[in-house]
Structure 1
Amino acid sequence: MTDPAPSADSAELAQFGYAQTLDRRTGRFASFAVAFAFVSIATGIFTTYGSVLNSSGPVGIWTWPIAVVGQLAVAFVLGALASRIPVTGYHYQWMSRLANPVLGWIIGWISFTFLAIVVVAVDYTIASTILPVLLNYESTATIAWVMTAAVLTLQGLLVAFSTPWAERVNNSLVTLELIGMATLTVLLLVVAAVRGDMTVANLFSKGVVPAEGFWSIGDWTSAGPWMLGFLLGAFTIVGFESAANLAEETHDPERVVPRAMWQAVLASGVLGFLFIIAVTLAAGDPVALAESGTPIADVIEATLGSVVATLLLLMVVLAIFACGLVIMITGVRLTWAMSRDERFPGWQQWYQISPRFRTPLKATLLYFCLAQLILAVFAHSETALFTLFGAATLLPAVMYASTVVLYLIKRNTLPHNNKFDLGAWEIPILVVAVVWLVFELALFRDASFKEAWAYVLIMVAIGAAYLGYLLVSRGARGLSMPDMHSIDAELRE
C-alpha cells in the first residue's frame, strides 16, 4: 500500500514550482536533531563561557534567559514562515517570495557566506582548543590546520554520499549531548553541594571586571560590560532554522519543521542555563578561573575528577562534530536551492542530484572546497580567524532581523495553513522578537567587531557584483522565482 504522505508533500512542493527530487526521509526527531545540533549548547557554552567571565564576570550568565526568550520569539516567527513556505533555501526562499527576488538573493548570499565561514570556525575549535587538552599535546597552527581539514573531510564524505547516514550520526550525537549535559548538570550540583563547594555569591560576582561603569550601555563604539554578556546567548542560540533547509526532505514539513525549531531553542535554553548555573556555583574563584583557556573543563575536573573531565571534552568534540556536520548540510542545501533557481555562480553544476547517492553531490564538493580554501587562507593568522568568528556571530543577527522585518510587513497577507499559526500571540511575539534583535544588533557596534563588519561588507560587495551581472544579463524578470502563481494567488485572497 502506498503511503499518502509523500505524494501530499510532493503536491505541496509542486505549488511552489518545483518537482520532488530529494528523498523525504527526515522525521520529527531528525528534524529536531538538526536544529539542536546547529545550536549545540555544549559547543557554544564551552567556547564562549571564558570570554564572558572576562568581559562581564560570572554575573553575565543572567543575560542567558533574556537571550533565550528573544531567540524563542524569533524561532516562532521563522517557524510561521517555514510552515507557509516549506521549501529548501529557508531565508533565501522566504525573502524572494514575499519581498522580491533581488532582496532574496542578497539574504541568500549573506546566509551562504555565514554558513561557509561558520563551519570552519566551529571545526577549528576542535583542533585548536579541545584536542590539545584532551590528548595532552602542544598545538601549532599547522597541526590545527591539518586536523581541522580532516574533520571537514569526514563531514563532507557523510554529506556527499549518504543523507540517511548523516542523519543517523547526527541523531546519535544529539542524543548523547542531551544525556551528557543533563547528567553533568546533576552531578555538578549534587557533588558540589555534598562537598560544600557551592559558592552562591559567584552568581552575582563581577569577577575580574571593574564595578565602575559595569551597568553602562557604553557609547557609539563600545558596549558596556553587562551588555557583552549577551554574546554568550547570541553566539550559542543560533541556527535553529536549519531544520527549514531540509523542508523538501521532511515528512509533513509545515507541521514538523516549526516545532523542531522552537523546541530546539527551548530545550537548549533550559538545559544550557541549568548547566551554566551549575558550573558557576562550582567555579570556586572566578578571578582565577577567568585566566584559564578551558574554564568549563577545569571546573568539571576540580569537582568530578579527571576522568569525567576527559569524558566532557570527548562529548564536546562529538557535539562540535555534529554541529559542523549540520552546518555543512545546511550550506549545501542552500547552494543547491539557489543553483536550482539559476542564480548561483556555476549553477549548471551545483543543482544536480546524484542518481546514485540521492544527494546534491556536486554542491557538496563546492561547499567542501570553499571551506578548505577559507581554512587554508586564514589558518596561520589567529587574528584573521577571530575576525571570522566575530562575523559568524554577527551574520545570523542580520539574517534574523531582515526576515522578521519581512514577516512584520507581510503578516496580514500570509495565508493560514492550520498547521502552525501564531494566532493571538502574534503581536506579543513580534514585539519581543523586534526588541531583542534591535538590542542584539546594538551589541555589534562594539569596536571589537570592526573587522567582522569589514568582512561582512566585503562579502556583500562580492555578492552585489554578481547580482549586478544577473540583472544586466537577464533583466529583473529573469530573477523571478519559479512558478509563483500559487502563493501569489493565496496572498491576494
Structure 2
Amino acid sequence: MTSPGERGANGLSEFGYAQEMKRELGWYTSFAVAFGFVSIATGIFTAYGSVLSSSGPMGIWTWPVVVLGQLCVALVFGSLAARIPVSGYAYQWISRLANPVLGWIMGWVSFTFLGVVVVAVDYTIAATILPVLFHYQGTNQNAWVITAVVLLLQAILVALSTRASQRVNNVAVTIQMIGMVTLTVLLFIVGAVTGVLDFGTLFSTGDVPSEGYFALGGLTSAGPWALGFLLGAFTIVGFESAANLAEETKNPARVVPKAMAQAVLGLGVLGMLFLIAVTALAGDPVALAQSDTPVADVIARVLGSYVGNALLVLVVISIFSCGLVISLSGARLVWAMARDKRFPGWQLLNKINRKTGTPMNASMFMFVVSQIVLALFAGSTQALFSLFSAATLLPALIYAATVLLYIVKRRSLPPSKGFELGRWEVPVLVLAVAWLGYELLIFRDASFAEPWIYVLIMFGIGALYLGYLLVRYGAKSLTMPDMHDIDRALDANPHEGRSVSEGGRS
C-alpha cells in the first residue's frame, strides 16, 4: 500500500495534470536512463581523437574538472526535480518558478539540443565504427543512409513501447558497464605485463606546442588546454533525461536526483580510469590522433584484433542505447510542451496512444526533426565535429540558465519531496557557476562557427513561434496549470519558502 508521503511525491494533481502514463520505472531504470544518455563509451570513442589533436594526451586531465562541474549541475537539477517531478524538466521548472515565457524559451532550447544530439550520437556509428568493423569505405552518402535507418529503428521502439525501450536500455547499460570495467582492467594488466604501459604519455602535449598551452586564448580563440574540456563536456551531458521521465518513475522526487548524481559520479570515475589506460598505451599519440578510431586502435594493438572488434560492438550497443534514450527524452519534452498547448501542432502532439501508452505522435515528430537535422549536417566533411560541437554548446546554455534560475529563486522554492542540498547548497552553486562560465567561454573559438549558426537558426524559428503565441493569445494567457496544492502546503509550512511566482498560476 502506498504511503501518504509517496502519494504526494508521485501525484500530478498538485501540478494541474492527470496521470496519463503508467508509473512503472524503478531506480535502476532511472539510473540506466541517465547512464545511457551520458554513455562514456560513446562520448570517449567519438571525441578522444579530437582532444588528441587539439590538446594532446594531457588534455585528458580536463576530465575530472568537468565531472566535478557537471556533478554540481546534476545536484542542482536533482533539487529542482525533487520539487517539481514533472515531464519537461527545465521547461517545467523555469515556467513555474520564473514565468512561462522564459520557460517556453528553455523548452525550445532543450528541444533543439535533443534534436541535434541524437543525430550526433547515431552518426558516429555510420561514420567511424561500421566502416572499420566491416572494412568498407565510409562516405557522406552511406553515413547519411545508415544514420537515418538507426534513427528510424529507435523512433519505432520508443513509439511502440516504453517498457520495451527501457528493457533494451537496461540491458545495454549493463553490458556497457561490465564491458568498460573489464576492458579497463585488461588494459592495465596486459599493459603492465608486456611493459608497454607508459604513464609519461599522460603528461605529454603531443605535437601541440607546450608554450602557451594553458593560455586563455584571444577573443575568437581558446587555448589548447581549454579545448580539451570538450571531451568531458560532450560526454557528461544528458543525465537530466531521468528527470524528463519523472511522471513514469516510482517515487521520482527521491529516485531521480539519486539516479542523476550516481550516473555522473560513476561514469566520471570509470571514464577517467579508462582514459588513463588508453592514453598510457597510446604509443605515438601524434600518429594516433590521425586515426578515425584511436581508442579501438589502441585496444586492438594491446589486446588483439578480436578484443578490438568486441569494443566496436560494445560501442555500437552503447550508441544505440544512447540514441534510444535521447529519442525517448525528446518525445517526452515535446509531449509535455504540447500538453500545455505550447508547441507547434500541439493538437496532435499532446496525445497518448491508448494501445501503446506512449506519446506516439511526439515520438514520430522527433524522428522527422532528427532527419531534417541529419540532412542539414550530413553533406559536410566536418559533419561529426559540427554535430558534437552543437550538442555540447546547447546543454551548456540550458545548464547555465537553469542554475541561474535556481540561484535567483532558491529562497522561494516549493518544498522538496525527497532531496535537498542543505548546507552544501552554496559550495555546489559556486562550483557549478564557475564551471559553466568557463565552459561557455570555450565556445568563442572560431571553430564553433557552424554550431552557432545552427543554434541561431533554431532560435530564430523558436522566436517566430513564440511571437505568434504572444500575439495570438497574449502573455497573460501563457500560464501553467494550477498549483494550488503547493500553495496550501506552503501556507501550512511557511518556513519552507514561497511557491511559484503569480505569473505561473492559473
TM-score range normalised by the length of the shorter chain: over 0.9
User: Cα offset for 1:456?
Assistant: 0.9
User: Cα offset for 1:378?
Assistant: 3.0
The residue aligned with 1:283 is 282
Unaligned runs of 5+ in 2: 491-496, 500-506
The residue aligned with 1:492 is 498
Compared CA separation, residues 173 and 142, structure 1 to 2 (3 A): same
Q: Distance in 2 between matches of 1:304 and 1:381?
A: 35
Contact 1:9 1:251 (8 Å CA) reproduced: no
The residue aligned with 1:173 is 172
SS in 1 for 2:22: coil
Compared CA separation, residues 451 and 488, structure 1 to 2 (3 A): farther
Compared CA separation, residues 311 and 240, structure 1 to 2 (3 A): same
SS in 1 for 2:481: coil
Q: Distance in 2 between matches of 1:492 and 1:200?
A: 54
The residue aligned with 2:466 is 467
Alignment-mate amino acid for residue 87 of structure 1: V
The residue aligned with 2:58 is 59
The residue aligned with 1:477 is 476
Unaligned runs of 5+ in 1: none
User: Cα offset for 1:139?
Assistant: 1.6
Q: Work out the percentage of aligned pairs sharing the same amino acid.
A: 63
User: Cα offset for 1:381?
Assistant: 2.4
Contact 1:5 1:252 (8 Å CA) reproduced: no
Alignment-mate amino acid for residue 368 of structure 1: F
Matches within 5 A, 1:225-264: 225-264=224-263
Q: Distance in 2 between matches of 1:24 and 1:5?
A: 16
Compared CA separation, residues 10 and 403, structure 1 to 2 (3 A): closer
The residue aligned with 1:330 is 329
Compared CA separation, residues 191 and 240, structure 1 to 2 (3 A): same
Contact 2:296 2:311 (8 Å CA) reproduced: yes
User: Cα offset for 1:379?
Assistant: 2.1
| Alignment of 1:312 onto 2:311 | yes
Contact 1:38 1:240 (8 Å CA) reproduced: yes
Alignment-mate amino acid for residue 55 of structure 2: S
Q: Distance in 1 between matches of 2:251 and 2:237?
A: 24
Q: Distance in 2 between matches of 1:227 and 1:209?
A: 13
Q: CA RMSD in A?
A: 1.5
User: Cα offset for 1:385?
Assistant: 5.4
The residue aligned with 1:411 is 410
Compared CA separation, residues 421 and 307, structure 1 to 2 (3 A): same
The residue aligned with 2:504 is none
Q: Distance in 2 between matches of 1:418 and 1:487?
A: 11
| Alignment of 1:18 onto 2:17 | yes
User: Cα offset for 1:488?
Assistant: 4.8
User: Cα offset for 1:203?
Assistant: 0.9
SS in 1 for 2:439: helix
Q: Distance in 2 between matches of 1:141 and 1:160?
A: 28
In terms of mean alpha carbon deviation, does 26-35 or 411-420 score higher? 411-420
User: Cα offset for 1:375?
Assistant: 1.8
Q: Distance in 1 between matches of 2:87 and 2:403?
A: 18
Contact 2:234 2:388 (8 Å CA) reproduced: no
TM-score, normalization by structure 1: 0.97
Contact 1:16 1:482 (8 Å CA) reproduced: yes
The residue aligned with 1:376 is 375
Alignment-mate amino acid for residue 458 of structure 1: I
Compared CA separation, residues 380 and 11, structure 1 to 2 (3 A): closer
Alignment-mate amino acid for residue 400 of structure 1: Y
Matches within 5 A, 1:382-401: 382-383=381-382, 386-401=385-400
Report how many residues are paired: 492
TM-score, normalization by structure 2: 0.95
| Alignment of 1:363 onto 2:362 | yes
Contact 2:33 2:325 (8 Å CA) reproduced: yes
User: Cα offset for 1:13?
Assistant: 1.0
Q: Distance in 1 between matches of 2:391 and 2:211?
A: 31
Compared CA separation, residues 254 and 289, structure 1 to 2 (3 A): same
Alignment-mate amino acid for residue 105 of structure 2: I
User: Cα offset for 1:10?
Assistant: 8.1
Q: Distance in 2 between matches of 1:235 and 1:116?
A: 15
Q: Distance in 1 between matches of 2:363 and 2:463?
A: 24
The residue aligned with 2:294 is 295
The residue aligned with 1:40 is 39
Q: Which segments of structure 1 move beyond 4 Å, counting only runs of 4 or more?
A: 2-7
